[in-house]
Amino acid sequence: MQVFGLVGNPVGHSLSPPMHEAAYEVHDMNARYVTFEPDPAELETAIDGADALGISGLNVTIPFKQDVLSLVDPDEMAARIGAVNTIDFSGDQPTGHNTDAEGARRALEEQGDATLAGATAVVVGAGGAGRAIAFALADAGSTVHIVNRTVERATSLAAEVPEASGYGLDALPELVPDADVLVNATSVGMEEDVSPVPADTLHENLVVLDAVYKPLETRLLRDAAECGATTVDGAWMLLYQGAIAFELWIGRDAPIDEMNEALRTRLRSDR
């Protein structure tokens, strides 16, 4: 049996097990996807142990995405972003990848029908998700405006990302009306029904992705839909990052429809 899993703390309510196990079922694989919550001080032992035990692949989530970078051989994208969310144990050394970046790009292009080459994009947030999304959009050919509550974090990320600039939240009314793509990569909207972006700055020509997936219908996405913008919820980004990890580990096409169904069924039952 092949074993895959998720390392994080906490991981109790993770949506990844049903999503990945739906893919194993489609491909008739003898495989399981399990969650692990190591003590932060034991992270290196946990990764070495997973390798020694023959675990095939691990996803990595908060708070370990940055710390795991030095424990694996990161690919170029993971090294630029400074975070790993997927480890592959199939080679001599564990390799680290960041599928959040590609997951966000595919969510925008495949579900939002966004044309990223030549687009002007506003990314709100400069934490882990914001970093991955800013690099992904810049690599896809967008001009990226990074907006963050802590402005220094936005400007220092913008200095690393090609064709990017950094701002505080007060720049949103100036930037959003001229944008083609808007991404919320903050945690705003998870705990309270509030949006990080003033509703009166939104417009019908925007494609809006909210990385928040609990709840699925955030205040930002409701405001965006109300003015006729195209909306993409955070479960699409989660789905594609998982599908890309599956393809990296298994080398076969991820069954997107079945994985999406399993993910959304779990999200509905968690409500």
Q: Which parts of this chain interact with ligand NAP (CB under 6 A)?
A: 62, 100, 103, 125-130, 148-150, 153, 185-188, 190, 196, 211-213, 234, 237-238, 241
Interatomic CA distance for residues 6 and 246, integer angstroms: 13
Q: In whole angstroms, how large is the CA radius of gyration of the chain?
A: 18
Of the two residues 50 and 60, which places its CB atom closer to ligand NAP in the complex?
60
Instruction: Output 116 or 129, the one with its CB closest to ligand NAP.
Output: 129
- Identify the CA nearest to 195 among candidates 210, 207, 214: 210
Pick between residue 99 and residue 230 the one whose CB is nearest to ligand NAP. Answer: 99
- Could you please report the per-residue DSSP string of the chain? -EEEEEE-SS-TT-SHHHHHHHHHHHTT--EEEEEE---GGGHHHHHHHHHHHT--EEEE-TTSTTGGGGGSEE-HHHHHHT--SEEE-SSSS-EEE-HHHHHHHHIIIIIS----TT-EEEEE--SHHHHHHHHHHHHTT-EEEEE-SSHHHHHHHHHHSTTEEEE-GGGHHHHGGG-SEEEE-SSTTSSSS--SS-GGG--TT-EEEE---SSSS-HHHHHHHHTT-EEE-HHHHHHHHHHHHHHHHH-S---HHHHHHHHHHHHHHH-
Residue (21 or 100) nearer to ligand NAP, CB: 100
Which tokens in the block code for residue 18? 């049903």
Give the CB-nearest residue to ligand NAP: 127
Asked about 65 being catalytic, the answer comes back as yes
Q: Which is nearer to ligand NAP, 81 or 140 (CB)?
A: 81
CA 201 to chain centre: 25
Residue closer to ligand NAP (CB basis): 35 or 241: 241
Amino acid at 121: A
Residue type, 5: G
List the catalytic residue out of 11, 18, 22, 65: 65
Residues identified as active-site: 65
